[in-house]
Amino acid sequence: MRTAATAKKEQLSPLYTVRGVVILDTATGERLAAKYSPWWQGAATVKDQIALERKLYVKTRPGKKGRSGAGSGGVEILMLEDTIVLHRAGTGVRVFVIGAQDENELLLLGVLNTIWDALLTALFPQPAAPGVFAGGALDRQL
């Protein structure tokens, strides 16, 4: 229920905001990590957060009729209640970035891509190429 105090609190929020970031397990839909904005009343309690995460998982699970799924690494945009949600799924995890209904999608996309790249770097580190500088063109110029 939205009260006058809640409305005033949401008006005082920064110009561009992310209401929440959620990372769920692809197979079970369980929360791996989540962070919600303290001034967003839509996820004020843990019960509200779990209900929102369940809705996100059910709405984006692959095999749902009429959905191709974002399993190929593409980004999907969803409207859920009074929020806009950008979603990306990969092997093992689904990442959701939640914003206000009138939020800038490019801002949310930048946040989603940054989190996705950070996860890829942390989970699948790339070995350094040993011969990039040794005996190459850069070595001859120095």
What integer pLDDT is reported at residue 74 of this predicted model?
83
What integer pLDDT is reported at residue 138 of this predicted model?
43
Identify the sign of the CA torsion 127, 97, 76, 24: positive
pLDDT in tens, the chain (142 residues): 555 555 555 555 556 788 999 999 988 999 999 999 888 887 888 999 999 999 999 998 876 554 545 455 688 999 988 899 999 998 789 999 999 988 889 999 999 999 999 998 888 777 766 655 555 544 444 3
Asked whether the beta carbons of 122 and 103 are under 8 A apart, the reply is: no
Cα 45 to chain center, whole Å? 20
What integer pLDDT is reported at residue 66 of this predicted model?
46
What integer pLDDT is reported at residue 121 of this predicted model?
87
Asked whether the beta carbons of 96 and 22 are under 8 A apart, the reply is: yes
What integer pLDDT is reported at residue 131 of this predicted model?
55
Q: Residue 99 has which token pair?
A: 């914003």
